Amino acid sequence: MANAKMKSHRGASKRFKISGTGKIMRHKAYKSHILTKKSSKRKRGLRQGTTLTSADQKRIMAVLDK
């Protein structure tokens, strides 16, 4: 009997994407509510995606099964 495959963490696979160069992309926090007191410049910056730190990269790769 063949070994069962590991399933990827469904929550993590919705939150993180792997870029073409192999880096893990994530969305920035603090963009969901209480937006009136935040400046337009700050909100524009929060729209951009960013890469994970190298410390988190290994952990997230494990749950994404990559």
What CA–CA distance (Å, rounded) separates 24 from 61? Answer: 8
- State both tokens at 64: 């994404």
**pTM to 2 decimals?**
0.76
Half-sphere exposure of 49 (CA within 13 A, CB side): 11
Domain residue spans of the chain: 40-66
- State both tokens at 51: 């890469």
pLDDT digits (tens, 9 = 90+) for 5-62: 888 999 999 999 999 999 999 999 999 999 999 999 999 999 999 999 999 999 999 9
As a whole number of Å, the CA-based R_g of the chain is: 16
Nearest CA-CA partner of 50 in 23, 14, 10: 23
